[in-house]
């Protein structure tokens, strides 16, 4: 949209009427801030002096009614709306690739109710998740949602892409944490999903919006489960000779129906690189750490059983201290300079599969990357474990990608395509918790097959003018 023309000024005046002058930004500082999220491509462009697409308007609604007003204005003028939480998504889901309105939700940050009887909390989803956790802790409870991006992201961002946290193995992913949602539909109606997640009154509307990445409407409020602070939480670490040995132990812990709050297994390369650098553990092999929490006696009992499983095949018992050290430094991996950074090219090939398939997926991706892209290093760890399988947090890193940004992006996309196709072939699902966004939209039809037409039909029915985050999740872009 060209500033200072009739349509621009009309939209701007309507938006300021809806939310107030102070809450509609058209300045260059905020436009720059909203043109780059945590996706590698806009970071690269910025680094190389290119300018990613900026929004025309950054709008900060204070309440659901204002969100509704904004979507009605956008529908009238057929302007794209891109919801923005903390902006820390890695898939480009919050990028305003067609300009238009960025709907920055951070002003909607209130805790509305804490129900200690049912152990639920109702909150506005623009709340930063660290702030949310602090509020819950002050009330004597916890969300048990501890992602690496806890300080960066909003609850809405996690809902948008089915995010997860370190303790997901016991407390679940976002879809397990959410009870119900308030949503503004693309045409501006305000709806609520059913108040409990377990029912037989038709398909779950809550599930429809979980992971919809702002393409089907704007989630404004959520009721989520909260938990008592556990009496005890303990960790233990082992070193295994190979990743396969460690995977055997980890899957046995899960299939024996022990209930760890976390298991994390680093492959030999990541153990040698990152575990050494961040935790100072200098060993050859695969590092496995797990933890239990809850009443003290139960924790000790389950911990003893899990340790017995590991002692069978482990190279070395690293003990509780090495486990606690990992927990204490669990976020350190993601701070500079420990996190990968420019000029490196890097991507997280987050994949989930059953225990029967997960190692096949790992090797298929690793071989595909190593054989086709010798300049890339492939590393991985397994986090977020379930009774049936786990998630592979695989990453590729290229220390010196091409200087030309177009060449660098082409190489980056080729690695993604190659690795993802290898994973899908072995029963992997891309992905587990980072979402689809802009990065993986092109793979959605391949991943879903004919089932994707169902999602496309839902999108078309709910958002006839295609204003909501166009071009994401594999849905059509603006003007398509």
Partner 1 sequence: MYIEDRQDVINACRFCFMCRHLDPVGNVTFRESDTPRGRALIIDRMRMDRECMKEPDFIDALYRSALSAANRFHCVSHYDETGLVLAARREIAGAGLAPEKAKALAKELEEAGFTVKGKGNVLYYGEFPALYPGCKILSGKDPGKALEVLGFEAASKKVFARFKKTVADSACKTLVVAEPSSYDFLRDKLPGVKVLHSAEYLLEQGAKKARARKAVYLESDFLKNYCGNPSAPRELLKALGYTLVPFGTNCEESYAVGEGAVVYDALNPELCQKLCSRVYGLAVDCKKTLFITASPRVRDALKKYNPAFNVVTLEEAIDAMQS
Which residues of the chain form contacts with partner 1 (CB under 8 A)?
25, 27-30, 32-34, 36, 38, 43, 46, 49, 58, 60, 86-88, 104, 106-107, 109, 126, 128, 130-131, 134-135, 137-138, 149, 151-153, 331-332, 334-339, 341-342
Least Å distance, CB 409 to partner 1, is 16
- Residue 111 or 462: the one with the smaller Cβ distance to partner 1 is 111
Least Å distance, CB 384 to partner 1, is 21
> CA 269 → CA 159, 242, 313, distances in Å?
32, 11, 20
> CA 368 → CA 2, 357, 451, distances in Å?
45, 16, 27
CB-based burial label for 1 (10 Å; 0-12, 13-18, 19+): middle
Least Å distance, CB 306 to partner 1, is 29
- Residue 46 or 445: the one with the smaller Cβ distance to partner 1 is 46
- Residue 329 or 354: the one with the smaller Cβ distance to partner 1 is 329
- Residue 45 or 382: the one with the smaller Cβ distance to partner 1 is 45
Least Å distance, CB 275 to partner 1, is 16
- Residue 164 or 357: the one with the smaller Cβ distance to partner 1 is 164
* Residue 248, C-beta contacts closer than 8 angstroms, at least 6 positions apart: 313
Instruction: Work out the number of other CB atoms within 10 angstroms of the CB of residue 336.
Output: 7
Least Å distance, CB 40 to partner 1, is 9
SS3 state at 423:
helix
Q: What is the C-alpha end-to-end distance of the chain, expressed in Å? A: 18
Instruction: Work out the number of other CB atoms within 10 angstroms of the CB of residue 97.
Output: 20
Least Å distance, CB 137 to partner 1, is 7
- Residue 30 or 316: the one with the smaller Cβ distance to partner 1 is 30
Going by their DSSP bridges, the two strands 81-84 and 101-104 should be labelled as parallel
Least Å distance, CB 31 to partner 1, is 8
Least Å distance, CB 96 to partner 1, is 12
Distance CA 142, CA 27 (A): 38
Distance CA 217, CA 468 (A): 7
Distance CA 166, CA 171 (A): 9
- Residue 153 or 286: the one with the smaller Cβ distance to partner 1 is 153
Least Å distance, CB 262 to partner 1, is 20
Contact 227, 165 (CB under 8 A): no
- Residue 326 or 362: the one with the smaller Cβ distance to partner 1 is 326
Least Å distance, CB 26 to partner 1, is 9
- Quote the strand ranges of 344-388, DSSP E: 345-354, 377-385
- Residue 273 or 442: the one with the smaller Cβ distance to partner 1 is 273
Least Å distance, CB 130 to partner 1, is 5
Distance CA 75, CA 196 (A): 31
- Residue 88 or 248: the one with the smaller Cβ distance to partner 1 is 88
Q: Angle at the Cα of 90 (from 463 to 388), degrees rounded to 5?
A: 90
Phi, psi at 475, each rounded to 5°:
-85, 160
Nearest Cα to Cα of residue 195 among 209, 208, 178: 178
- Residue 130 or 187: the one with the smaller Cβ distance to partner 1 is 130
Sign of the CA dihedral with 254 first, then 258, 259, and 265 last: negative
Distance CA 201, CA 194 (A): 9
- Residue 59 or 243: the one with the smaller Cβ distance to partner 1 is 59
> CA 402 → CA 369, 431, 446, 464, distances in Å?
17, 27, 29, 41
Strand partners, 125: none
Least Å distance, CB 140 to partner 1, is 12
Per DSSP, helices labelled H in 118-210 are: 129-138, 155-160, 168-171, 174-177, 205-209
Name the region of 319 (left: φ>0; alpha: ψ -120 to 50; beta: rest): left
């Amino acid at each position: 949209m060209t500033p200072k023309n009739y349509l621009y000024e009309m939209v701007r005046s309507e938006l300021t009427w809806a939310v107030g002058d102070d809450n509609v930004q058209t300045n260059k500082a905020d436009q720059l801030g909203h043109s780059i999220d945590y996706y590698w491509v806009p970071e690269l462009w910025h680094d190389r002096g290119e300018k990613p697409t900026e929004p025309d308007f950054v709008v900060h609604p204070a309440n659901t009614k204002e969100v509704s007003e904004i979507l009605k204005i956008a529908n009238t003028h057929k302007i794209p709306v891109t919801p923005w939480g903390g902006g820390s998504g890695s898939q480009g889901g919050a990028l305003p690739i067609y300009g238009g309105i960025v709907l920055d939700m951070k002003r909607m940050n209130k805790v509305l109710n804490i129900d200690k009887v049912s152990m639920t909390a109702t909150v506005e989803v623009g709340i930063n998740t660290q702030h949310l956790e602090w509020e819950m802790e002050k009330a004597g409870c916890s969300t048990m949602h501890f992602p690496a991006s806890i300080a960066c992201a909003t609850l809405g961002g996690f809902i948008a892409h089915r995010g997860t946290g370190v303790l997901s193995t016991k407390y679940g992913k976002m879809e397990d944490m959410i009870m119900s949602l308030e949503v503004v539909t693309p045409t501006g109606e305000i709806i609520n999903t059913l108040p409990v997640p377990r029912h037989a009154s038709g398909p779950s509307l809550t599930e429809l919006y979980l992971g919809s990445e702002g393409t089907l409407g704007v989630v404004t409020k959520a009721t989520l489960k909260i938990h008592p602070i556990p009496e005890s939480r303990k960790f233990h670490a082992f070193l295994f000779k190979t990743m396969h040995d460690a995977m055997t132990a980890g899957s046995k812990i899960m299939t024996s129906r022990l209930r760890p709050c976390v298991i994390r297994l680093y492959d030999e390369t990541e153990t040698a690189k990152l575990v050494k650098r961040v935790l100072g553990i200098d060993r050859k092999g695969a590092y496995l750490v797990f933890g239990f929490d809850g009443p003290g006696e139960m924790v000790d009992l389950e911990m003893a059983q899990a340790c017995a499983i590991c002692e069978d095949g482990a190279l070395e018992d690293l003990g509780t201290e090495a486990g606690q050290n990992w927990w204490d430094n669990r976020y350190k991996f993601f701070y500079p300079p420990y996190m990968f950074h420019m000029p490196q090219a890097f991507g997280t090939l987050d994949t989930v599969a059953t225990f029967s398939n997960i190692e096949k997926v790992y090797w298929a991706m690793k071989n595909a990357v190593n054989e086709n892209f010798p300049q890339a290093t492939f590393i991985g760890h397994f986090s977020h474990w379930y009774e049936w399988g786990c998630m592979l947090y695989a990453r590729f890193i290229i220390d010196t990608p091409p200087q030309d940004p177009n060449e660098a992006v082409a190489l980056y996309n080729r690695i993604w395509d190659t690795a993802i196709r290898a994973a899908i072939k072995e029963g992997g699902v891309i992905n587990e918790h980072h979402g689809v966004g802009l990065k993986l939209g092109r793979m959605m039809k391949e991943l879903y097959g004919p089932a994707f037409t169902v999602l496309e039909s839902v999108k078309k029915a709910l958002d006839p003018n295609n204003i909501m985050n166009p071009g994401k999740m594999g849905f059509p872009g603006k003007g398509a």
